[in-house]
Structure 1
């Protein structure tokens, strides 16, 4: 029987200032549309204003990088080109909706209090219901399968496509639902053929074509426990050595690294806290061309233990970004 997790769906980079993050990511060679912000009136009859959190995405054919920020708690200035999405809510429902949005924003604000960087990891699943059943059978708690709407640009214009997802609960009962020690981890439904085609049209100057990996750093004494957790999440064993464990997910991978070995894996990098997602990687069409663009835009580049290039976390708003030559032609 095949696996119910096929790769990475997206990673989420939580930033303090969306305007600054957009500028940095565009210099890194990523194409991102203007960010979207929900808008709600502060009271019945008042004009709608940006509220809660705003986000945008660097889309690849089958996955993406999300940039997300908080409006009220260190979220910085709302960019001038931001797309406001009014939430049409009956007056009697407004307090409940505002409370729910505030809850989401507070979760993101809690991430920023830990550090600015990557706090979200969602795996790709062709069968979220099956994966939910496997997790339950293995004793992994989650909040159930939910659906959200994603905009899809088609030849006929923008339409909304439902995407199903679930978030994994931590084992500590004191932890908020949908959170594990390193952040938000879950599964999301594989994109439809139409969505893949729409995202394939996005061209990134750095040549990025997909997510290749994420790196989670943990205390040395917690590596075995982290491996146990991710083995239960992913439904497969890891490989590696005493200080580094790797889960292969087809075309991508999840790397667990002990804090004492992080410098060996990504020279010069240090985890801001433990545990923490410290890096993510993207595959690119032509690594030499990517290197020229990054150096030309003033970014320092370092070689990883595997020979890939990465921009240090200090230059990328709290998460190291690894660039890897794609193994197959795009």
Structure 2
């Protein structure tokens, strides 16, 4: 089964503020889109109380998601009640039904397929509206409390990956790595690797689970703080940061500095440098910009 790191999601308490913050970071964000979906497996599509803005990349995307109507169903309520920051880790699959069959046969704790839809602005000037459709498999949160893990099948890729949305002032081109931080990094990495049916391999930046495109890596709090020189972490275990590949790291660093964003260079054991944006600048999510 092919799996990609499709997208990561930052849950925010104030979606307007979240838009402003990520716009300042140099992401070209989509117009607001409101979710609708099935609340149970096999149920009808109905309005949800959440909406999003997305930064679409050539490979994957970053979602800023927030509550838009507290009277309607939404998982965002419980996410932001715990903390504001990275929560959603979505792995792309070609066919949700086939993925469900393969995962359940292996004993993975996943729900059945649920439909998700939302209207999305379409065209260089948002002159049209088209329906984006997805089929999702959600992983049981009790079994995997580390993140809102899901498998996603895109049915309308052309609606999301529009050419004019793929150019960003900060030079972003792709989602590369999602970092989970857990007290027992080895045990957490093994559980995630078993779920996605991949190997867990020690690397320079944590224990890595390499997907067909993109990587999920797991670090201990000590490893994370030693590498990033950042003390702030969400309640653990949790996603702490995401790596975003850019066209030119120096230009990205210069853009962030010109926007007044606090950032700094960090380096791994091999001396490879990245530009680190601390959680306070990105609604609780640490961002690591790397040279693509």
Q: What TM-score results when the alignment is normalised by the length of structure 1?
A: 0.75
Structure 2 residue 31 is the aligned partner of structure 1 residue 34: yes
Aligned pairs, how many?
275
Structure 2 residue 58 is the aligned partner of structure 1 residue 61: yes
CA drift of 1:292 comes to: 0.7
Change in 2 beyond 3 A, CA 1:213/1:126 = same
Selected match of 2:151 from 176, 180, 187: 187
Work out the CA distance in 2 between the residues paired with 1:111 and 1:212. 23
CA drift of 1:17 comes to: 1.4
Structure 2 residue 122 is the aligned partner of structure 1 residue 153: yes
Tell me the alpha carbon deviations over residues 190-234 of structure 1, each in whole angstroms, 9 at most, x when there is no partner. Answer: 566634752564321111111111110001xx3233122211222
Structure 2 residue 202 is the aligned partner of structure 1 residue 240: yes
Work out the CA distance in 2 between the residues paired with 1:62 and 1:244. 22
Selected match of 1:254 from 216, 226, 229: 216
Work out the CA distance in 2 between the residues paired with 1:26 and 1:184. 24
What are the within-5 Å matches in structure 2 for residues 264-303 of structure 1? 264-303=226-265
* Residue number in structure 2 paired with 1:86: none
Work out the CA distance in 2 between the residues paired with 1:11 and 1:216. 12
Work out the CA distance in 1 between the residues paired with 2:49 and 2:258. 36
Do 1:245 and 1:257's aligned partners in 2 also have CA atoms closer than 8 Å? yes
Q: What TM-score results when the alignment is normalised by the length of structure 2?
A: 0.84
Work out the CA distance in 2 between the residues paired with 1:129 and 1:205. 38
Do 2:131 and 2:159's aligned partners in 1 also have CA atoms closer than 8 Å? no
Work out the CA distance in 2 between the residues paired with 1:4 and 1:119. 23
Structure 2 residue 102 is the aligned partner of structure 1 residue 134: yes
> Any idea what SS the aligned residue of 2:173 has?
strand
Do 1:4 and 1:127's aligned partners in 2 also have CA atoms closer than 8 Å? no
Structure 2 residue 5 is the aligned partner of structure 1 residue 8: yes
* Structure 2, gaps ≥5 residues long: 37-46
* Residue number in structure 2 paired with 1:79: none
Work out the CA distance in 2 between the residues paired with 1:258 and 1:16. 27
Which portions of structure 1, spanning 4 or more consecutive aligned residues, are displaced by more than 4 angstroms?
A: 154-157, 190-193
User: Rg: which structure is higher?
Assistant: 1
* Residue number in structure 2 paired with 1:210: 174
Work out the CA distance in 2 between the residues paired with 1:126 and 1:51. 25
* Structure 1, gaps ≥5 residues long: 40-49, 74-97, 173-179
Change in 2 beyond 3 A, CA 1:35/1:160 = closer
